[in-house]
Structure 1
């Protein structure tokens, strides 16, 4: 079986995409919706993604921002807690985009002192024959 062009193939297995769960600690400017949006846009562009839509919501002065970029290749979402300097970011991409290419923009854009990443292969199928 030949995988669809937007599937990933690694070590003979095909899967829908790579999903990174990114924890940013010691992050800054997490209560600024325009800045949060700009950093996510920069991260998506660094990964070579096509942005289809974006939406960000600020919960009020000094509070967090929740938002997402809808990508042709999947999505990037964020939830921020400025009071603790923490942000949770999901970076899910299929096709030729590599979500790891988004990480430097996230680290630099939020000036995070610690970045922890968990990787998941979503929709993994048996090896190709």
Structure 2
């Protein structure tokens, strides 16, 4: 074991020494957003199943009335993050289609498009959440 410490070997690329790049962060966010989208589809179905166990919706109404504005904040936050993951996944998927056609494959354009996709997804989800809750 002591012999390996004296050899001139490169350090293994683990997370404590790795500098994150925009492309790697974008790839991780793309996977997280896809997972969140799948969960956002199945969780409401599970909640509806749980609500059907109550027998009537009066208990649900009482619970939501008791929570008051806190439930609005929680629901709007969840709605925002689901929209953020949707718009990011959509925009990043379009970027991958452009890559498949051979466009924006230079390193500078990859980084710029990654930053633009993150900004665009945040902007679209913010505007969509504001519009949705301003009408309701």
Regarding TM over 0.5, the answer is no
Give the TM-score of the pair, scaled to structure 2.
0.24
Greater fraction of residues in strand: 1
Structure 1-normalised TM-score? 0.25
Say which structure is richer in helix. 2
Q: Which has the higher contact order (CA 8 A, sep 6+)?
A: 1
